[in-house]
Amino acid sequence: MQGKWRQEIKAWFGEKSLSTQFALAGGVFMLGAMFLAGSVVSNIVSKVTVEDTASATALFLQSLITPLVHDLATVESLSAEQIQRLDALLGGDEFSKRFPHLEIWKDDGLIVYSRSAEIIGRRFTAPHGLVDALAGEVSAQYADLSAAEHTVREFNKSYLEIYVPIRELLSGDIIAVAEIHEVPSQLEEKLTLVQRRTWLAIVAATLLIVLGLFGIVYRGSRLIDVQKAGLVQRLKKIEQISEHNRRLRERSQQASSRVAEFNERALRNIGADLHDGPAQLITLAALKLDEVHRAPNGAARKIELKKIGGALSEALDEIRSISKGLMLPDIEKLALSDLIFRVARSHEQRTNTKVDVDCLPITEPLPLAIKICVYRFVQEGLTNAFRHARGHEQSVICTFDGMQLNVSVKSGNNLQDREPPVWREGMGLNGLRDRVESLGGSFQVYSGQNSANRIEMTLDFRN
């Protein structure tokens, strides 16, 4: 259960932006550091303030008391006159309000003077402040209300106890220790003010540091987010291009396979045409040679030779016809627009029909494979237009903007036909599709009974 809770927190934290993560984690650490630094600095400042107050009070007391108690260097107690003079000196209203109690200790715990007369001449356990003062240090601490010298007088209010060493005037030896009880209200107000200012300074400094660091991290986070979004978009685009290239590669492979099959079928058809036509006629001529040899006279021999010549002439005509269908004109040096016009004019002469050509001059050099593809496309398209629509409203449209080549062949419906013809993808159109797709292009057939028939090829040179 605890592990699942940690995983949920980790997953939630990981979904946040870098700046938010910094604000959450850095905020926690900075708050901890702020409280730690504030506590340490506040304690140090409070201690220094108390020590400054104690030092000022010690200097004040030494100047007042030392001349009156210098006899303690040789005696263990003060005379009644000295006690009266001390009472008169320390009994003023303003002094009493701030310092209500004062004792003078000897090193053995004997109290030789006190504003409370009942404890004069009594010994008590030496407090820690007395021990420090006997060592020459001014000591300040809050009163221990459980101490014997306080329980005797039933103290129920805490005072700031300041222990001040009293030195002999000539030798500087410590002859006694003055313990003064100061009302802590003024000191506490001063400490509160100092601590408040200290905390305000620390909070302000922490806030400035956090804002400065957050600003830097926020700018970095925004830059990372922008770059991340850009990388994601690029990755998506790369994936799309990769998928598009994969489909093109598959189409190209399929088209190449179909082209190979088409070429194989074409070769078989050519072989069949040669076998069934010229080969048969040549065989007939070879058979007639035997009849020439067996002819009884010259007249019969001439008749047989004439038959042989006719058969050979017919075979030669068929071979020329087959060769003409296989050979392309010299198109390598022709511009693409001139090539399209030549195919259209050749079709017009062969079929005695009209072909409208809409093609601006295209002078850019193009690969021979593209020229051959366009030549066969226009040739096959016009042939289909003549076969299905009897050459009615034949047209060729070609556009090229330097990046994309688009060629279309269209024919209208013959109004004399009761059932308008519909172009269907037979061996010729399928061969065109394979030829176009093998070059990375697209091939479309648009055919319907109530609309014009059209084939269209597109080659995108950006791919």
**Same-domain check for residues 63 and 109:** yes
| Residue 78 falls inside a structural domain | yes
Residue 438 banded pLDDT, cuts 50, 70, 90 = confident
- If you average pLDDT over every residue of the chain, what do you get? 78
| Residue 7 falls inside a structural domain | no
Summarised one tens digit per residue, pLDDT across range 284-322 is: 667 667 677 777 777 777 777 777 777 778 777 777 766
Query: CA 178, CA 165: separation in Å to the nearest integer?
Result: 6
Query: CA 294, CA 298: separation in Å to the nearest integer?
Result: 11
The CATH number for 365's domain is 3.30.565.10
Q: 249 exposed, middle or buried (CB, 10 Å; 0-12, 13-18, 19+)? A: exposed
**Same-domain check for residues 305 and 355:** no
- Name residue 428's amino acid: G
Summarised one tens digit per residue, pLDDT across range 315-348 is: 777 777 666 656 566 777 888 888 899 888 988 8
Residue 395 banded pLDDT, cuts 50, 70, 90 = very high
pLDDT value of position 409: 92
Query: CA 67, CA 71: separation in Å to the nearest integer?
Result: 9
Helix ranges (H only) for 145-184 are 148-151
pLDDT at 98 over 90: no
Query: CA 321, CA 319: separation in Å to the nearest integer?
Result: 5
pLDDT value of position 356: 92
**Same-domain check for residues 228 and 86:** no
pLDDT value of position 408: 93
pLDDT value of position 28: 77
368-389 helix and 427-437 helix, angle to the nearest 10 degrees: 160
**Same-domain check for residues 227 and 342:** no
Of the three residues 183, 213, 234, the one that is the final residue of a domain is 183
Q: 403 exposed, middle or buried (CB, 10 Å; 0-12, 13-18, 19+)? A: exposed
pLDDT at 419 over 60: no
| Residue 9 falls inside a structural domain | no
**Same-domain check for residues 362 and 335:** yes
**Structural domain range at position 246:** 195-323
| Residue 388 falls inside a structural domain | yes
Asked if 407 and 430 touch (Cβ cutoff 8 Å), the reply is: no
- Name residue 250's amino acid: E
Q: 367 exposed, middle or buried (CB, 10 Å; 0-12, 13-18, 19+)? A: exposed
The CATH number for 89's domain is 3.30.450.20
Summarised one tens digit per residue, pLDDT across range 192-234 is: 787 788 888 888 888 888 788 778 877 877 888 888 888 889 9
pLDDT value of position 2: 58
Asked if 238 and 77 touch (Cβ cutoff 8 Å), the reply is: no
pLDDT value of position 401: 82
Summarised one tens digit per residue, pLDDT across range 42-80 is: 778 777 777 777 777 777 777 777 777 877 877 888 888
**Same-domain check for residues 306 and 447:** no
pLDDT value of position 417: 47
Structural domain tally of the chain?
3
| Residue 349 falls inside a structural domain | yes
Residue 98 vs residues 49, 160, 430: alpha-carbon distances, Å? 17, 11, 115
**Same-domain check for residues 351 and 310:** no
| Residue 155 falls inside a structural domain | yes
**Same-domain check for residues 175 and 233:** no
pLDDT at 383 over 60: yes
Of the three residues 323, 347, 371, the one that is the final residue of a domain is 323
| Residue 3 falls inside a structural domain | no
Which percentage of the chain shows pLDDT scores above 70?
83
**Same-domain check for residues 374 and 281:** no
Which pTM was predicted? 0.42
**Same-domain check for residues 278 and 382:** no
pLDDT value of position 246: 85
**Same-domain check for residues 415 and 279:** no
pLDDT value of position 458: 92
pLDDT value of position 1: 55
Of the three residues 135, 158, 183, the one that is the final residue of a domain is 183
**Same-domain check for residues 108 and 55:** yes
pLDDT value of position 416: 47
Burial letters 187-198, b for 16+ CB under 10 A, else e: beebbeeebeeb
Query: CA 237, CA 84: separation in Å to the nearest integer?
Result: 102
pLDDT at 418 over 60: no
CA angle, 118 then 124 then 129, to 5°? 110
What mean pLDDT comes out for the span 363-385? 85
Residue 90 vs residues 31, 87, 101, 121, 462: alpha-carbon distances, Å? 49, 5, 9, 19, 106
pLDDT at 397 over 90: yes
What mean pLDDT comes out for the span 130-143? 82
Residue 252 vs residues 377, 381, 386: alpha-carbon distances, Å? 18, 22, 30
